[in-house]
Structure formats: C-alpha cells, structure tokens
Structure 1
Amino acid sequence: MGKFDGVLLVSDFDDTLYDSHCQVPRRNLEALDRFLAQGGRFTVATGRAHRTFAPYVHLAPVNAPVVLSNGSAIYDFQKDEFLVQTYLSPSAPQDLDGVMEAFPQLGMEAYHGEDIYVFRPNWITDLHMKKVGTDYTVCPIREMPTPWTKAILQQDHGVLKEVQSWLLDRFPRRYEAIFSNHVYLEITDHGCNKGGMVARLAQMLGIARENIYCVGDNQNDIPMMALSAVPFAPANCAQEVKDWGAHILCHCDDGVIGDIVEILEQRY
C-alpha cells in the first residue's frame, strides 16, 4: 500500500506537462516516478486527437487511460482501444459551413477517425500541423467524411471570441466551443469537455472526487480543474485561468508537475 493509492493526477499536455522547448522536463519525470511508486495514477487530458498524441504518450509514465480530443474520448494505450468515443452532431458540416461563410477569415480542421481534413488553411493551421507533425487533406467541408470527433477553428483571438458567441447563440445545446489556446477554438459535442471525461475516467478507476487533482494552462482545462481537490495551473497559464482562481505554480519549463507532487507529498 502506498500513500497515493486511490489518487488520480491529470495533466494537460501542451504548455503544462510538455514545455515550451517541446520536451517533458526531467523534474516532471522524477516527480512522477515518486508519485507512481506510491500507488498514484497519472494520466493526460489533452486537446490532441489519438493520431497527434500517440507519438508522445511514451514521454511520461502514463498509467491510466488518456482523455483525448478535448474531452471527446477516453483511450487506453495499454489495451490500445477507445473506452469512450463521442462525435459531433450529424448537422456539424452544415452548421460549421455556415460559420465559415459568416467568418471568411477562419481556418478549420475536422477530425474523422485517424484522418484530419482542413478547409481554408491559414498560417495558424500550418503552424499547428507542423507542431503535431502530421499530414492532412484539404477539401471543401461538404466533402469531408463524417462523423467528426471534433473540429478546430483558427484565427486571431478577437475574431474567435466573436465566432464563439455566434456559434453558441445559434446552437446552445449542440456544441462545446472552448479555447485550447488563444488562436484555437475547439468544437466538441455538447457536454463533452475535459471535466466530464475526467469525471467518467475517475468513476471507471474507482477514484473518489476528493482525490482528483488536475493541472492545465488554458480555458479548455477549467472544466477539469473545477473537479480538482486543488485546481493547479502553471505560471504560463492564460489570464482566464488566473482570473478563474487556479492555484498558480511554477512555469511549465520549470517542471510544474514537480511542484504538484511535492504539494501532494505534504498533503498525504
């Protein structure tokens, strides 16, 4: 029996566990080794899809299923299978075609299975695809195969704030529209966010609510931080996260998971 038996630690990936130099700091790895040795369960809740996260899962000692696509799915990398998979409404191509018509400066990615389809790519789309290191197919929205697990709308933050309001006003119970960073507006099925999927994962694992700890840097992490016994965020987090009231720790480059494990070592 270890002191972290029955404790679940969930981290966002980009700019939280994974730092600005595109690596997991050694301090994070050393802390996670201590956490797991005492019976803790560690996983990631990321906006990345299976295809764009799978090449990176080995970078940290993940020992629980992973929340993918901003809360659209739960994937067990040990069993190599989806435990939960959700999809956007069948009307998503028509709905998002309307968004793209209303906001012609937008770029868009749609995720179908392991494939990524892009309409009207812009400089943000290009940078995103280079970061995740994958290819994609450019085509009209109506020609993209369905169903979609999620979509990402891309443009400057001010434009995306308008898009977010436009979309949620017209389809208030059809979609989640939440920022994963200031130039990515993530679209998932209504009710599918990191908070909901972390709660489902904890139930699968038999983890009590008071033993869930979450850390993230952006608006899309707030739903899971709301579940956390102590909501943690790195110093590089978005202003929305600071304003929300997260417990701010060190910068992701300095190994924010190390800070959390040290706190938990005192707490338990």
Structure 2
Amino acid sequence: MQKPFEGFLLASDLDGTLLNDQGVISQKNIDAVQEFVDGGGLFTIATGRTVSSAQQYVEKLAVNAPVIVTNGSLMYDYRTNTIPWDAPLPEEARGLVQAVLDHMPHVGVEISSGRELYVLRANATTHEHLKYENIDAVFCTMEELPNVWHKVLYELPPEHLQEIIDFCEKVPYREVEYMRSAKIFYEMIPKGAHKGAALHALAAKLGISLDKTVAIGDYYNDLGFIKAGGIGITPQNAPDDIKKLADVVVCSNNEGAIAGAVSYLRGLVSQSA
C-alpha cells in the first residue's frame, strides 16, 4: 500500500489551531489526521496545556507519537503513560513565584508538574480556565508542591495582564524565560525549553529529518515552534505578524486548519512524486 506521508511528522497546536473557537475538534480535522496517519505520517500535538488537559483531545485523534505539553518543557507518551523527555524549571523558579505571591495578591498562579496541575492561588480567571479546560487541579501551598515543576502560569483579565508582565521583568532572573501564551496568560518556562526545542528533540527521537517536520500554530508562543519546523504553517486567524513568518497560511481554525495543512502536504507530496 502506498504511504504518501511516510517520513513526515506533523505537530499541531491545540487552541486556535486544531480546536475551533468553541474548543471542539471538527470531524473534518479528525478525518484529516486519520488520513495523514493512514498514509504513514506521524501526528502529534504541541500545546501549552497540561498532560491531563490535553488528554481529552488526544483520545479523539489518531495521535501516534509522544505529545509536547506545557509549551515545550515536557513530552508525554499517552500510549505508555511515560515521560520520554522533559526540561524542569530550575530552583530559582520558587523564589520568583514567591515574589509574585507576596507582592501581587490578585494574580492567579498555577504550577504544572508531570501529570498534575497545582493551584497556589485562584482568581476568577483561574476558575474560568479550569472550567474551560475541564480539568481537576490540586489546590495547595508552596510547601505542599512537588520538587519538580515544568511550567508556571500567571492569570489575569486581559486589561490587567500587563501588570504581571511588568512585575516579572523587574525581578532579576537567569535560568527561566517568560512568554505571553494568551490574552489572559503569562507563563514561566525553563530557559530554552519551548515548543520549537521540544519539536527538534521529538524529531530526533523518532528519526524524522527536519525538512519533513511540519509545525502548525497560531499564537506568539508558537512562533519558535513554527520556525523550528521544516515547514511552518499557521491558520488564517493568526495575528498578521505570525502569518508573515510562516511558510504556509491555511484556512482558519473554524474552517478546519489541520485539514488545510494535510491538503497542502498532499499536494506537496504529489508534486514530488
């Protein structure tokens, strides 16, 4: 049987890319992923979500490779329930988070560690986030947290998010980096541990050449990811500056962006046959 997508790795962001604006995977995208996998391709997800949050979507798709979660600091294989690769936050992260807890009492703070999500402080945005992603979290104190952290998520309404950005920029740090991953989220991750770096690590682990590594995402936390792929794709709903840096722009997330990406790859393979 002909396997047109053999040797390709397609990695997709979730929110704003694979999911429509209602947080649902369309049947069009489900069928496109199945076509890609049946055609010999390796498909995975690369998301800022946690292991538990991403699982509900992994179960709906023909995912046949480890999944990149927490914006690139953790790789999780749902088929074996193992962590084949990770990049934990350094010890300095605890002091940086404590400074936020001490000086910014209105900021929601979540910590991702392995499979679990911990809430150090909840605000209205935190509760909306947990409800939207339909995940359980452990509410705890700093002393009750595990030693290994993979991501810190700060949450504020869009009109106030700049407050946490300004605060974090004033507190000296060396081994972490920050990114704005949504209009209400500001994240701390290990320095250099982003989706793009994780994609390279995954491609190497799977024996996929970088020129056949395809990344599709829509937001600023996807920028390094899109540039890291041999083919960088973004949906029409992405900001204009992201679209300018992508190799290919497909239809929006509401119109089936993953189906658009698979259609593009189908044409690419046909041309080279």
1:172 and 1:157 mapped to 2: Cα distance? 24
1:162 and 1:174 mapped to 2: Cα distance? 22
CA contact (8 A) 1:24 1:60 kept: no
Q: Is 1:126 matched with 2:124? A: no
Q: Which residue of 2 aligns with 1:260?
A: 261
Q: Which residue of 1 aligns with 2:115?
A: 114
CA contact (8 A) 1:111 1:151 kept: yes
- Please state how far the C-alpha of 1:222 moved relative to its aligned partner: 1.0
Q: 1:147-177 CA deviation, whole Å, 9 max, x = no partner? A: 2111100113464345345435644531121
Query: Which region of structure 1 is more displaced relative to structure 2, 193-202 or 116-125?
Result: 116-125
Identity of aligned residues (%): 29
- Please state how far the C-alpha of 1:10 moved relative to its aligned partner: 0.5
Match of 2:15, SS?
coil
- Please state how far the C-alpha of 1:38 moved relative to its aligned partner: 1.8
CA contact (8 A) 1:179 1:218 kept: no
Q: 1:28-76 CA deviation, whole Å, 9 max, x = no partner? A: 1222222122211110001111122223311111111111111011111
CA distance change for structure 1 residues 97 and 172 in 2, over 3 Å: closer, same or farther?
closer
Q: Is 1:191 matched with 2:189? A: no
TM-score (ref. length: structure 2) = 0.89
CA distance change for structure 1 residues 17 and 245 in 2, over 3 Å: closer, same or farther?
closer
In the alignment, structure 1 segments of 5+ residues that lack a partner are none
Q: Which residue of 1 aligns with 2:182?
A: 181
2:227 and 2:214 mapped to 1: Cα distance? 10
Query: Which region of structure 1 is more displaced relative to structure 2, 158-167 or 182-191?
Result: 158-167
Match of 2:205, SS?
helix
Query: Which region of structure 1 is more displaced relative to structure 2, 132-141 or 149-158?
Result: 132-141
Q: 1:60-104 CA deviation, whole Å, 9 max, x = no partner? A: 111111111110111112222110122111222211111343433
RMSD of aligned residue pairs (Cα, Å) = 2.2
In the alignment, structure 2 segments of 5+ residues that lack a partner are none
Match of 1:16, SS?
helix
- 1:1-268 → structure 2 map (5 Å cutoff): 2-157=3-158, 159-161=160-162, 163-164=164-165, 166-168=167-169, 170-238=171-239, 241-242=242-243, 244-245=245-246, 247-268=248-269
2:192 and 2:183 mapped to 1: Cα distance? 21
Query: Which region of structure 1 is more displaced relative to structure 2, 166-175 or 211-220?
Result: 166-175
Query: Which region of structure 1 is more displaced relative to structure 2, 104-113 or 11-20?
Result: 104-113
CA distance change for structure 1 residues 3 and 190 in 2, over 3 Å: closer, same or farther?
same
Match of 2:44, SS?
strand
Hey, which bits of structure 1, 4+ residues long, moved more than 4 A? Answer: 168-172, 243-246
Give the letter aligned to residue 54 of structure 1: Q
Match of 1:23, SS?
coil
Match of 1:119, SS?
strand
